[in-house]
Amino acid sequence: MYNDYMFKRVFYCSVFSLFSLSALFASDDSRNIVFEGLKYPIEANAVTAEKTGLVIYETPYSSPTAFDFNVVMIQGETENLNITLELRYKENRGETKAAVAPETLRIYKNGRFWAKFRLPAFDKHLFKLSFINLIENKDFHITIYEIQGLREAAGKTEVPVSTVPYEPPAELFLPEQSLFKLYKRADWEAQPPKEPYVQHAPKAMTLHHTAGKYTDKLEDSIAEVQFIQDYHQNGRGWIDIGYHFLLDGAGNIFEGRPVNAVGAHVLGKNIDNIGISFLGNYHPPKNDQPAKASIEAAAALGKSLSDNYSIQKSSFYAHRDIGKTDCPGNILYSRMQALKNLIFEPAPVEMPVKDQAINDFSDPKGSPALEQALKYSKQ
């Protein structure tokens, strides 16, 4: 991961549109780019290539959008790390432009990748994405979880305000509790926020899925949470990971943004709203299934939050209830009522036992399983 972040405040020299301001804090499916005949996640097989520099997979041109954009973001997973991407676009008049290289392309050792393309002007661009090999390759699989068209101001200047790393105040974080064990930010080696958090007073909770990779092993989950933070901070330009809590298929709970800080998970509705996200994609055609351990962990987390912040049953939402999105997916959405009952009814919630090797979870160094997982995530 990247360890050279210092606190900077970013001053924007151009005037943002209303959506540009909103995009700093969350997005929804309305910004997804549609390709005729394809559904997310896009599952593709790259062809065998005996030479380098060849197009091994290419999307069709995208369908027309109802919105202008000048940035294209893509994130997914590849079995071959030795690839690059390029984008070819048309403007409304149909003229094909030269290929655009990614402004940023990051490929993790586990195959997770994200890329950011910047186009020269706001427009309803039609484009296609090409995957290009850097070495000779056999057939391999590519999964594209998301491609979005975003608006981002072109002229911005970063001005260092302080050379002292920002230390979030302790009152922003969840108080110690006993209903569940939490992998805190230090445990999964979170990067610091790019700017100071804005404090809020939670009054609601919203359930999400990441619509990305499903994980149920600790080392894989740590790597995925680190990836999501990197994508949110350095791809989307947010100050930190958007969610407050993330859960994997084993029932592990990871602390994201501090619970008493405004998150970035529901467009226009982040203030006083806690974001809880399941790792994975619980919507057709992917159809990941929420594990019993995950549901029980979410119930324990929700119970603790509802008690601490006096959150009512009527203020526990699915993302699709308050945003233009399929999130948290049809499958997870079908469990909402049962999850509400587990959280807000008095029946006790029995949590699964975590790693028996963890002797003192408050000290990351006291957990052999955690140390092994962190070592794996850095390989």
CA triplet 150, 155, 156: central angle to 5 degrees?
Answer: 95
State how far Cα 159 lies from the chain centre.
27
Convert the pLDDT of each residue in 72-129 to its tens digit.
999 999 999 999 999 999 876 677 778 999 999 999 999 999 999 999 999 999 999 9
- Residue found under tokens 């587990």: 342
State residue 176's pLDDT score: 84
State residue 156's pLDDT score: 55
Band (205; pLDDT cuts 50, 70, 90): very high
State how far Cα 17 lies from the chain centre.
24
How does strand 83-90 pair with strand 104-107? unpaired
Structure tokens at 200: 């809020």
The pTM (predicted TM-score) of the whole model is 0.85
Band (375; pLDDT cuts 50, 70, 90): low
- Residue found under tokens 């924007």: 12
| Among the listed residues 221, 283, 210, the one whose alpha carbon sits nearest the alpha carbon of residue 250 | 221
CA atoms of 290 and 330, how far apart (whole Å): 11
Dihedral angle sign, alpha carbons of residues 21, 25, 30, 36? positive
CA atoms of 321 and 161, how far apart (whole Å): 39
Say how many residues make up the chain: 379
User: Which residue segments constitute the domains of the chain, with CATH numbers given?
Assistant: 17-152 (2.60.120), 170-378 (3.40.80.10)
Q: How far is CA 129 from CA 28, 61, 87, 111, 309, in A?
A: 21, 8, 5, 18, 45
Convert the pLDDT of each residue in 292-331 to its tens digit.
999 999 999 999 999 999 999 999 999 999 999 999 999 9
Structure tokens at 332: 């997870």
State residue 221's pLDDT score: 99
Convert the pLDDT of each residue in 17-52 to its tens digit.
333 333 334 556 789 999 999 999 999 999 999 999
| Among the listed residues 249, 259, 269, the one whose alpha carbon sits nearest the alpha carbon of residue 209 | 249
Structure tokens at 116: 């950011």
